[in-house]
Amino acid sequence: MSEHVFDPPERCVAGSVGPPGGRTFFLQATDGNRMMTVSLEKEQVRLLGESLVELLDDVAGDDGAEAAAATFTDNAPLDAPFEDDFRVQRLSVAWEAGRRMVVLEAYDRPDAEDLADLPAETEESDLPWSGLPPQSLKVVLEPARARAFALRCASSLDGGRPSCPFCGQPLDPTGHICPRANGYRR
């Protein structure tokens, strides 16, 4: 397995590239000349940020408070190029109590249970990682920096398509089929 470890990184941010409705979400970790960029789903970014906030609220105390995170706020754009090293299939967030650090891990493969849930007719050659060695990204962050990262996750979700006032689904510039309007476009 090819494991890329940033302990600690110079920079760790989540962000998106592209127009609303067509954005691609990334997580980037950099350390000197070394940079790792992985792509995620929008929902993974949301859950990652929320999980970090929950974890920090439970275990980090004042070290992980929003006030402490202010010194690590990073609103700069993602670093180019925007090509992902791998697409994230599984994420984990953990607290390393001995060091009082947050550990984020991203993997390019689902866990064994999720692989068992694939349809029986799925061929291994059909899987996106077929023929490639497993990869992972591990980022170790102090609590204040982890809180700043969680806030960046939340802000990266802003700026998407506006929601339909009737059904809450995202509106496309051409409209959408609204279930509350009996299938008519709004």
**pLDDT, tens digit (0-9, with 9 covering 90-100), for 97-153:** 999 999 999 999 887 676 667 777 777 666 776 677 889 999 999 999 999 999 999
Residue 7 lies in a domain: yes
Q: What's phi and psi for 181, nearest 5 deg?
A: -100, 25
Placement of tokens 């006032």 in the chain: 165
The answer to whether residue 141 sits within a structural domain is yes
Identify the helix (H) or strand (E) that includes residue 95.
strand 90-96
CB-based burial label for 108 (10 Å; 0-12, 13-18, 19+): buried
70: domain CATH number is: 3.30.2450
Pick the residue with more confidence: 129 or 32? 32
Residue 91 lies in a domain: yes
Which structural domain range is residue 126 located in?
A: 2-161
The reply to whether 145 falls in a domain is: yes
The whole-number pLDDT of residue 110 equals 81
Total domain count, the chain = 1
Residue 18: pLDDT band (50, 70, 90) is: confident
Residue 78 lies in a domain: yes
Beta strands 34-40 and 11-17: pairing type? Answer: unpaired
Whether 8 is covered by a domain: the verdict is: yes
Residue 52 has pLDDT above 90, yes or no: yes
Question: Does 60 fall in a domain?
Answer: yes
**Cβ atoms 28, 13 nearer than 8 A:** yes
